[in-house]
Chain A
Amino acid sequence: MAYPHRHENETTTLLSRHMGEEKARHLDGWLERGGYEALRKAVDMEPDEITGVVKDSGLRGRGGAGFPTGMKWSFMPGADDDRPHYLCCNADESEPGAFKDREIMRWTPHLLIEGCLIAARAIRAGHVYIYVRGEFFPVIRILNDAVSEAYEAGYIGEDILGSGWSCDLTVHIGAGAYIAGEETGLMSSLEGRRAEPRVKPPFPAQHGIFGQPTTVNNVETLSAVPMILSNGADWYRQWGTEKSPGTKLWCCSGHLNRPGNYELALGAPLRDIIYDVCGGIPDGRDLRAVIPGGSSTAFLTPDELDCETTYEGLKEVGSSLGTASPIVMDESTCLLKAMRRIAHFYAHESCGQCVQCREGTEWVTKILERIEHGEGKMQDIDNLYDLCEQLTGRTICVLADSVVFPLKSSLDKFRDEYEAHILRDTCTAS
């Protein structure tokens, strides 16, 4: 769908304000829109001051985990640690259902660059890497153009804005593995190895890229930083809730009349997002299930839609905000098939280090395929439940857990679907 979607109900336009405006992509246009003012402010601030403002704003990581950004920055060693520090921007957006970072980079690359530089100053990084998903061809081109412009104009590089502070920025193109979006997997990939997650501790803030202190932040997180710095923490807190302040880009997909990216203050009920913002479900069909935060989050049923869409609110109903990427499935959807498709994705994307994940995700997929082909047994349901246990919390990263959230919730909430396939070789989808 075309941009902007700003005429829909309840949308807020902070991050997405200039989406759809061709001119905002280029430095001139961006400066006309108040670009790099926040950076100008930042270079006159002490690093810890910047971190303080972000801490006060309550900004939380938009990559899925929701970790408080300011706190993450404060884990970085201070000025007394003379090792090189790195900032890495995670632009490997690879969660099925998520397509927000791509849009930020596509329309407002300078917003991201500015956010990166401010964050780099806050964590005393001398080099920023933007790790971009390899398939984002036009985005990479746009981003590279913007970086060149910013270098030329002195926003990146030596002596930024005459402040004496220097910082470089490199756009690094990934090769398209889901696991490269996991922060330690991303670091491995950036170093030229296989994108294999690493054991924590040591944490990136102590031992990150090339063994140096590193912070990894999501595109959307970093893009929110300039406006927070310009307008202050309190200003940002006027949106969202106490624990989940600010706005969030929602990537709505699936059976919706108006799927797309919407920027909303955190906290809007999911029901409103689906029925008001996205215009409801086509052809008047009924809703069957929603995965609220990208494919690695637990399924919600239609009667769970009144939850508050915040980090805490969705946790309360046993799911997660994740990347705020609801995938909406109407009554015509076979949930077994949907689950099989999700499991297949994770089995395909498992890096293969941990035994549970390597073998377990594939085993789950095979069981689901067999049930789908009418060869399931009731024992399979018990086995799937047991596999959920074995795949949880025992691996280096959370990829194995990612398949458990939707799987376990689908078994809990849509057991009838599994039983129909196993016992009658039919589907409950209409």
Chain B
Amino acid sequence: MSEQNGQKDTVTLTIDGVEVTVPEGTRVLDAAQRAGVVVPYYCYHPGIPTRPAQCRVCLVSVEGQGKLQPSCVLDAQDEMVVHTATEEAKLARKSVIEFLLVNHPLDCPICDAAGQCMLQDYAFETGQLESRLDEPKQVMGRDRISDDIMYFADRCIICTRCVRFMREVAEDDALIVAERGHRAYIDTFPGTKLDNPFQGNIVDICPVGALVHEDFLFKARYWDMDSASSVCPGCSNGCNVAIDTKENQIVRLKPRHNAEVNSYWMCDHGRKHLVMANRGIRAEVPLLRGEDGELRPADWAEALETVAERLGEVSGGRAVVSPHDCNESLFYLRRLLDRMGIDGGSFTVERGEEATLSGFPKLKLRADRAPNVSGAEIFGFERADGLSGPEAGAALVVLEERLQGAPAELDDEAFGEDASYFLYLGSRISPAARAADAILPVTSFAEMQGTFTNWEGRVQRFDQALREPGIARPAWMVLSRVLELMGEGEAVLEAADAFERMVGDTAPMEEATWASLGLKGAPLAPTAGSGAGGA
């Protein structure tokens, strides 16, 4: 509508009676979404550049045009009047569903996609109850198209999203449509293998159950799963993910859209990484070293009072943290360390090879394989190649061992033996922790709320996906209570309070509220790492 300098930059059209104004060049399908009108689609995917308009399920009626038009490629124009639910359009949609089901095995009861399948949804919505098909169905079988992805050809609707993702986003021509017509199926290019660090995305974008992760195969039904918004801890990129859980076990990670971080995608390293979180024996209750020199369980009240009392006597020492700790925990630890007169502190980061998603280069599997390296640096901890034990007679505070591959020094039972007082907060009890004077069980990131600061200073929130084991509590909660007992402020029980106190008290971070942070995060911190704060 707005006309500036004779340059028209928006158009206004009517979709199902709703007037909507969109930027020029917007397709009718996208405009319909803005108008709140649901137009079904299969082949279109907002993250894939090409729109082949081949599924023909988004056909709509446009006044003045004789034929139904594919709304995914139709440019919205001024005064265009679109009807998505004319008898003709509804019939066309219904017939597409019927055609798709002609050779579909209808094996929903054993299909991983059941419950979140676009074919199931539209068939339920627009399809017919009875089949007119008298012919035997074509059977094509299944195949492993990579080491970890299975392809069920009979379920496939040849929307070619997977082929186009690999070609246009991953820029790896690994997948093709083989054969043609009703014999068409998805395959790897002859002589090549599907072996790409981002290939897992083809499973996510498959609108039906044709592409399935072997890791997830038959593991959970959609309606039995819970899902939490989270941030992938696999590297410092901070991809937004959803953690799907079943019976308090992580079953899979799926990317969550964030145009600033990861678009619709994530890497396979991230996907596989977190399954490890299900493993291992967890610290479930506080342990205190008794007078007999043995660790014994204690309740939180006793444990916290004991720890607060002992820490009050400490002056100087050393701290070791993990780049897997969240910002809030590191913030409260820094305050505690200040109180104890301990400067600095160190952490180690596992490093790995980088991999970039060509079609969305901001999504990179980054060399730092931990989610909060920037956060650790903001709170004054330094990256170290290895860890050495404390000087004799000094205190040692360890917050969370790394999720996997702890350095040998930390595993060494002798680590920390010389400390005057050794406090260990962790979700697991590593061999090194056995020497601690007190072990306080804290939750892993999946079991609490908090925030991570990614490589470019974007602070992003994660929600709780799993129940905490035993009586473990988030480290920020535990530490704030210890501080309270030492006469330093009030304990916080909500992540929102911890976050807001943190941004208020941390100079390099911009102010924000938990609500304003939302589920997509915000760039609150200066870019960390080498050349911190720079461009």
Footprint of B on A, CB under 8 Å? Answer: 177, 179, 194, 196, 198-199, 347-363, 366-367, 370, 377, 380, 383, 390, 393-396
Contact of B158 among A352, A356, A360, A367 (CB under 8 A): A352
Whether B181 lies near A352 (C-beta < 8 A) is yes
In addition to A199-B53, A394-B59, A394-B68, 18 A-B residue pairs with Cβ atoms within 8 Å of each other are A196-B52, A352-B184, A353-B52, A354-B55, A354-B56, A356-B95, A358-B158, A358-B182, A359-B100, A360-B99, A362-B138, A362-B182, A366-B135, A367-B134, A390-B92, A390-B98, A393-B67, A394-B92
Residues of B within 8 A of A196 (CB): 52
A–B pairs, 30, beta carbons within 8 Å: A177-B180, A179-B180, A196-B52, A199-B51, A199-B70, A349-B181, A350-B182, A351-B181, A352-B158, A352-B177, A354-B54, A354-B56, A355-B54, A355-B100, A356-B96, A356-B99, A358-B184, A359-B99, A359-B100, A361-B182, A362-B103, A362-B138, A363-B99, A363-B133, A370-B135, A380-B134, A390-B92, A390-B99, A393-B68, A394-B92
B57 touches A362 (CB 8 A): no
Would you give the 0/1 interface string for B165-199, flagging 1 where the beta carbon is closer than 8 Å to chain A?
A: 00000000000010111111000000000000000
Residues of A within 8 A of B67 (CB): 393-394
Question: Which residues of the other chain, A, contact B59 by a CB distance below 8 angstroms?
Answer: 394
Q: Is the pair A355, B99 in contact by a Cβ cutoff of 8 Å?
A: yes
The A-contacting residues of B in range 83-97, CB under 8 angstroms, are 91-92, 95-96
A358 to B133 Cα, complex, angstroms: 15
User: What residues of A have a CB within 8 angstroms of the CB of B181 in the complex?
Assistant: 347-352, 357-358, 361-362
Interface size class of B (residues with CB under 8 A): 35 or more
- Interface status of B102 (Cβ within 8 A of chain A): yes
Specify the chain A residue showing the minimal Cβ separation from B43.
A353
Checking B54, B132, B177 against A396 with a beta-carbon cut-off of 8 angstroms, the contacting residue is: B54
**Is the beta-carbon distance between B180 and A352 smaller than 8 angstroms?**
yes
Which residue in chain A gives the minimum CB-CB distance to B184?
A352
**Do A347 and B182 contact each other (CB < 8 Å), given the known contacts A199-B73, A352-B158, A355-B57?**
yes
User: Within the assembled complex, what's the spacing in Å between the Cα atoms of A350 and B177?
Assistant: 13
Determine the residue in chain B with the shortest Cβ distance to A179: B180
Nearest CB on A from B371, distance (A)? 41
Question: What B residues does A348 contact at CB under 8 A?
Answer: 181
Tell me which residues across on chain A come within 8 A of B133, comparing CB atoms: 363
Contact of A355 among B51, B56, B134, B177 (CB under 8 A): B56
Given the interface pairs A199-B70, A367-B135, the reply to whether A395 lies near B184 with Cβ below 8 Å is no
Q: Is B435 an interface residue (CB 8 A)?
A: no
- Please, which residue of chain A has its CB at the minimum distance from the CB of B158? A352
Interface presence of B157 (CB below 8 A): yes
Asked, given contacts A199-B73, A352-B158, A352-B184, whether A396 binds B135 with beta carbons under 8 Å apart, the answer is: no
Q: Which residues of chain A have C-beta atoms less than 8 A from B55's C-beta? A: 354-355
Tell me which of B91, B98, B132, B180 contacts A350 (CB under 8 A).
B180
* Min CB gap A378→B, angstroms: 13
Which chain A positions have C-beta within 8 A of B73?
199
Query: What A residues does B135 contact at CB under 8 A?
Result: 363, 366-367, 370
Residues of A within 8 A of B98 (CB): 390
Tell me the nearest residue of chain B to A352, going by C-beta: B184
With both beta carbons as reference points, the residue of chain B lying nearest to A367 in the complex is identified as B135
Cβ-defined contact, A359 with B102, below 8 A: yes
In the complex the two chains form, is B56's CB within 8 Å of A370's CB? no
Of all A-B residue pairs in the complex, the 8 with the closest CB atoms, nearest first, are A350-B181, A352-B184, A353-B54, A359-B99, A390-B95, A362-B182, A366-B135, A359-B102
Taking the nearest CB of chain A, how far is it from the CB of B68, in angstroms? Answer: 6
Instruction: Identify which of B67, B68, B95, B157 gathers the most chain A CB atoms within 10 Å of its CB.
Output: B95
Q: How many angstroms from the CA of A356 to the CA of B135 in the assembled complex?
A: 17
Within the complex, what minimum Cβ distance (angstroms) separates B31 from chain A?
Answer: 17
A194 contacts B52, C-beta separation under 8 Å: no
With a 10 A CB-CB cut-off, give which of A347, A366, A367 has the most chain B CB atoms: A366
A408 to chain B, nearest CB (A): 16
In Å, the complex CA distance between A366 and B181 comes to: 14
State whether A370 touches B184 (Cβ < 8 A). Answer: no
> Given that A199-B70, A362-B181, A393-B68 are known contacts, is A355 also in contact with B96, CB under 8 Å in the complex?
yes
A194 / chain B contacts, CB cutoff of 8 Å: 177, 180
Residues from chain B with a CB closer than 8 A to the CB of A347 are 181-182
A354 to B55, CA, bound (A): 5
A363-B180 contact, Cβ under 8 Å, with A370-B134, A394-B92: no
B96 touches A199 (CB 8 A): no
B287 to chain A minimum Cβ distance, whole angstroms, is 62
Q: A356-B95, A360-B99, A393-B67 are in contact. Are A199 and B52 (CB under 8 A)?
A: yes
Which residues from B are CB-within-8-Å of A179? 180
Interface string of B207-231 (1 = CB under 8 A from A): 0000000000000000000000000
Interface string of B433-468 (1 = CB under 8 A from A): 000000000000000000000000000000000000
A251: min CB distance to chain B, Å: 26
Distance of A3 Cα from B370 Cα, bound (Å): 79
* Residue in B closest to A369 when the chains form the complex, CB atoms: B135
Distance between Cα atoms of A366 and B52 in the complex (Å): 28
A359 proximity list for chain B (CB < 8 A): 99-100, 102-103, 182
Q: Which residues of B contact A351 (CB under 8 A)?
A: 180-181
- Cα distance, A350 to B96, chains bound together (Å): 16
Q: Which of B133, B135, B157, B181 has the most CB of A within 10 A?
A: B181
In contact, A394 and B56 (Cβ under 8 angstroms)? yes
Closest to B51 in A: A199
Q: Return the chain A residue nearest B52 by Cβ.
A: A353
Tell me the minimal C-beta distance from A116 to chain B in angstroms: 29
Give bound CA distance, A350 to B70, whole Å.
19
What separation, in Å, do the CA atoms of A414 and B439 have in the docked complex? 88
CB distance from B372 to the nearest CB of A (A): 45
Complex: A363 Cα to B104 Cα, angstroms: 13
Smallest CB separation, A208 vs chain B (Å): 17
The answer on a CB contact under 8 Å between B53 and A396 is yes
For A363, give the chain B residue with the smallest CB separation: B102
Q: Which residues of B contact A177 (CB under 8 A)?
A: 180
Residues of A near B138 (CB, < 8 A) are 362
Residue among A196, A353, A393 with the highest chain B CB neighbour number at 10 A? A353
CB distance from A123 to the nearest CB of B (A): 26
Q: How far is the CA of A361 from the CA of B68 in the complex (A)?
A: 20
